[in-house]
Amino acid sequence: MEGIVRVGLVGYGYWGPNLLRNYMGLDKADVRWVCDLGAGRIALAKSRYPSVTVTQDYADVIGDPEVDAVLIATPISTHYELALRALEAGKHVFVEKPLTSTSRDAVKLIELANANRLTLMVGHTFEYSPPVMKIKEIIDSGELGDIHFMASSRVNLGLHQKDVSVIWDLAPHDLSIFFYWLGEEPTHIGAVGRSCLDGCNPDVAFVNLAFPSGAIAEIQLSWLSPVKLRRTMIVGSRKMLLYDDTESVEKVKIYDHGVTRKVEPDSYGEYQLSYRTGDIVSPRLDTHEPLFTEASEFVDSVLSRRPPRTDGASGLRVVNALERAEESLKHNGSRVDETMNYGRRKDDDQLLVEPYTPYVHQMFIGP
Ligand SMILES: NC(=O)c1ccc[n+]([C@@H]2O[C@H](COP(=O)([O-])OP(=O)(O)OC[C@H]3O[C@@H](n4cnc5c(N)ncnc54)[C@H](O)[C@@H]3O)[C@@H](O)[C@H]2O)c1
């Protein structure tokens, strides 16, 4: 059908239903299949959306010649294989965050998508959320000045994941947000963490990053916390900003606060600090649902054959940063620099993956 993308969803666990609800509401999408290994899960999908065909066998979805695109919302360890099979079958692919569990796999998916002129998109949902998009606008306008540092907390009494650490579960959000805001990747990443419950994956981690611009950042992540925090503070040379995603209104506040250093004439280099505590302004935000905007972006990029905003390269950047953070965690927080670039150490003969290919943006997808 002209102007319509026919999709199949694989993975109808916790997150898949959110994707399905949004794709069901898109005029330009036609959801044909829902696939999950669990019989109860597909029965639930069928009861909610009788028009979709359900299956426990992924081969049914990618084998359907009428399906244009596949949405993958399964556990991280399965992303690569499922995405690879879809791309090999000639389908456009949307994969939930993080894109893959190694940068080597992310590179392979990007190469395959490019070679076959297929869209590969990653679900960095926050890059489509109104407060995050507004903050990008504010940073780019120069209102905050140069960014000195950013600090975020993403903690709650969360579900312990069996197969991944808290870094792989929660950090993709903050990493993708920070890279989007700053438009750069970190030179150094360090991480400390521990498993507070014996025998489990690390359930608390503090990740720190340094960027080429001089900005530094810290991300606190935990599944063990008395309260839920989703808060980021940005301190710039001109103004400061607080983003609290748990607030229902006024999620973003800009503080006209700062400290300036004045050298007094004839004072032999002595200086005075002048403190400014001015207005606090909360900008108006759009009210669209991030997942709906994200779904529209995927469908539009498939239809217009242009790279999506959160393309494979965006997914690779985040996966690489996650690998570096995990590497640091194993070495008690030592800083892992960019020489561990996409899984490769410059001065190490033994490459962890193939040499790094600079994917600044996914290539243009021609007609
Ligand atoms: N963007 C976001 O804000 C956000 C939020 C939560 C989760 N996620 C991501 O969504 C993905 C899924 O997370 P979840 O919490 O829904 O996991 P989940 O374990 O609740 O659900 C995964 C589902 O996939 C099914 N599944 C696994 N392998 C399959 C296969 N080979 N074929 C068919 N079905 C299969 C399972 O049966 C399960 O129902 C993860 O990548 C996670 O990081 C994203």
Question: Ligand 1 centroid vs 226 CA: distance in angstroms?
Answer: 26
Name which residue sits closest to atom 37 of ligand 1, judged by CA: 37
Domain ranges of the chain: 5-125+289-311+324-337, 127-281
Domains 5-125+289-311+324-337 and 127-281 share a fold: no
| Contact by Cβ (8 Å): 44, 95 | no
Q: CB within 8 A of 246, min separation 6: which ones?
A: 228, 229, 230, 231
Name which residue sits closest to atom 15 of ligand 1, judged by CA: 14
State whether the beta carbon of 45 lies less than 6 angstroms from ligand 1: no
pLDDT tens-digit map of 140-150 = 999 999 999 99
Strand partners, 281: 254
State whether the beta carbon of 177 lies less than 6 angstroms from ligand 1: no
> What is the spatial distance between Cα 343 and Cα 345, in angstroms, rounded to a whole number?
7
Consecutive H or E run containing 244: strand 240-244
Query: Which option is the CATH number for 5-125+289-311+324-337: 3.40.50.720, 3.40.50.300, 3.90.230.10, 3.40.47.10?
Result: 3.40.50.720
Name which residue sits closest to atom 40 of ligand 1, judged by CA: 75
Q: Which pTM value belongs to this model?
A: 0.92
Question: Ligand 1 centroid vs 14 CA: distance in angstroms?
Answer: 6
Residues found in the chain: 367
Name which residue sits closest to atom 33 of ligand 1, judged by CA: 36
pLDDT tens-digit map of 47-88 = 999 999 999 999 999 999 999 999 999 999 999 999 999 999
CA-based R_g, the chain, Å = 22
> What is the spatial distance between Cα 262 and Cα 290, in angstroms, rounded to a whole number?
44
Q: Please give the share of the chain, as a percent, with pLDDT higher than 90.
A: 82
pLDDT for the residue 294: 98
State whether the beta carbon of 75 lies less than 6 angstroms from ligand 1: yes
**Peptide bond preceding 98: is omega within 30 degrees of 0, i.e. cis?**
yes
Residue with tokens 């996966």: 319
Confidence label for 272 from pLDDT (cuts 50, 70 and 90): confident
Q: CA distances (Å), 271 to each of 239, 260, 274, 276, 312, in order?
A: 21, 10, 10, 16, 49
> What is the spatial distance between Cα 203 and Cα 166, in angstroms, rounded to a whole number?
5
State whether the beta carbon of 104 lies less than 6 angstroms from ligand 1: no
pLDDT for the residue 363: 39
Question: Ligand 1 centroid vs 12 CA: distance in angstroms?
Answer: 7
pLDDT for the residue 310: 97
pLDDT tens-digit map of 86-134 = 999 999 999 999 999 999 999 999 999 999 999 999 999 999 999 999 9
The class (CATH top level) of 127-281 is: alpha beta
